[in-house]
Structure 1
Amino acid sequence: MESIVQSNITARHIDRVTVMGNDIHIDGWSLQCRDTTQLTIVFPNHQTSSIPEEHWRRSSPDIENIYGAQYSSVRFEIITPFPKDIAPKDIGLILLRFDDREENDAPILTFGETWSHVASTPLHQLKIGIGIPTYNRSGTLPHVIEQVKKNTSLPFKLFISNDGSNDTTCSILRDFSDISYGNFRNRGIAWNKNRILFYLKEILKCDVIIILEDDMFPDSFAWEIDWIFAALRLGHINLAHPHQHADEGGVGFWHDPVISYSLSGQCSAFAREALSYVGFLDPRFGRYGHEHVEHTLRFIRMGYGGRPRKNQIGDAFYLLRSNLLPIETPSHSDPQEVEKASKIFDDIKHDVAYRSPWLPEDLSIRQLRDDMALIKET
């Protein structure tokens, strides 16, 4: 899925491409680094950036072992300003130019997947929404909120959906002056995440929505960029744990996700366009269990967020490695609720893809509408 070229002297490989703050980071190797005297990055807007030699003559013992001693220093770790008018979809049009010769130009990445239409919008003009569903986590929620605010580099809307907590969560949220939040009646995980998706997608019209659980927080600046790229390229993406097994390959970057048979819902991202086809979490799920897996399986059936397993029955999920750290908290899991959810999952797993966020009755629609009216915006 990532860019690989192997043909004699032009052999090269891009390990990772990401945007952090105002810079783009490009890591990889090229045999052409051995003989070149100048390396330039060429952006789609024709802007160029000359890269200092110390950034593209890095030690490469792994490449030396394959190609010989003359290629002992052909790795590059490029950091250069990222033009604000470049769109996510244009990342694949960025070129490496060796010795200022256009015939040596090499794209940093090549893609086969279809990007979301909004991926043609410059990165810094995208509308980003981050939602945190919470229940009885008043001891850790302030830290999660502060870390999200501190480490998110792009302008964004932050929404906290409190699902009927009976601790001090309500008063804590009122103390924040720069977030949107809602203190609601307890209705369970599926309904609470649907509040987030509905508010950020239908009311705020966000292009990309990230849902982060209330026991996870970002530990590095610009953590959201890879989630945005992955969502716009793949439609839907989930978190890979540090030791997540790649059942069908993948490194875990937005351009080369882990492909795994297991899934968790601790962090996930959605392109608005993909949500328009797949819909919301199924509101028939109760308090806990299976709602996120069923939702992601519907994304896969519509061509987003994963693919069918190779030569097996079932699906494989696209997962992203990210600098998110967990907080040790008591689990709200309820075995009886999980058992109920398992029966619901078995009954509906082959239903048509799209789900509304409410049950097919007027009362359910009014309940969601009434929830939206309770949201405090800042």
Structure 2
Amino acid sequence: MTRVCRFVSSAAVIVTALVAVPQTSFADPGDRAAAAEDLFQRGKSRMTEGNFTAACPLLAESYRLDPAGGTLQNLAICYESLGKWATAYARFQELRTLSKNAERPRLDRVKLAEEHIEKLGPRLTRIVVVMEDHGAQEVDVDGVTYQKASWSTGIAADPGSHELVVRGNGKQPFHSTVQIGQTGGEQRVVVPALADEVLVAGPVTPPSAEQPAANADDSVAATRKRHTIGYVVGGVGVAVLAAGAVFGVLTITTNAKAKDKCSRDTNPGANATEFDASGRCFVDSDPWKDSNAMKDDARTFANIANVLVPVGVVGLGVGAWLALTKSNSSQPAKGASIRISPSLGGASLEGTF
């Protein structure tokens, strides 16, 4: 009974979740639409009152939440009534495009937008930036960055004050405040050649009189340390080289014994049935198995020798170089480290001195 109750409870939870998911998924768009409608109605009320300063932000936020054509139309009219002709001009252009491309085109809104675009065009003032050199890379107007295609032909701006900044790589920025009037046309801003950036260097401390003597002492100490390290590295190289030679000898002798093991001439006491007429041992015979085991040992000794001999030679050479040369007096003494690591077909020796 308990298991049945648990099953029913779990099923109830799942059903509740499935029912709640659609409500949660569609709640957000509904809330946005409701908020957009509330903002739209409040914005229209402010426009009716003639308070365009308060109306435009309400309509802009409504359009952001729900980009409807009617909201965009009222927003463009609001900006125009507020005297922001460049902003209104851009909004009417957007309204014309949106209305043309709608699933059901709104030709009435297209016509209205075109009428306002035609009326606002002559009122627009464009900021044209004229450069005296080519060091400028970009132009900012009120924090918005424009490329040459815009600032060289004109950036539409609303009447009022605008902050202009011209920047270039390795150049000092040029700042200017541009005042846009109500008459329309072009507002040309001539930008002089941008000055190079000034790099301020920090204070330079003159060398003290005791520094040469200290450097000389450091050089002597570094040379002694270098020679000591050279003797150690050279000694290790000799030891490794000797070990490599031992394994080389073992390789030769073990390989010779392997050959003799499979020959009847060198095994007089062996069973004659394990050798053929030429005196060589048969495959899978006891002498043949012993011979192969010795050959495996010889190959192992050879691999070890192939590693030790080159490492020993390198160690001996590095040790001799360290022991017979002096430390560079212009460089501070450094610690030394040696690392020997096996590699494919041999080994590598690395170090810092």
**Greater gyration radius:** 2
The structure with more strand, counted as a fraction of residues: 1
TM-score range, shorter chain: under 0.3
Greater share of helix: 2
TM-score normalised to structure 1 length: 0.18
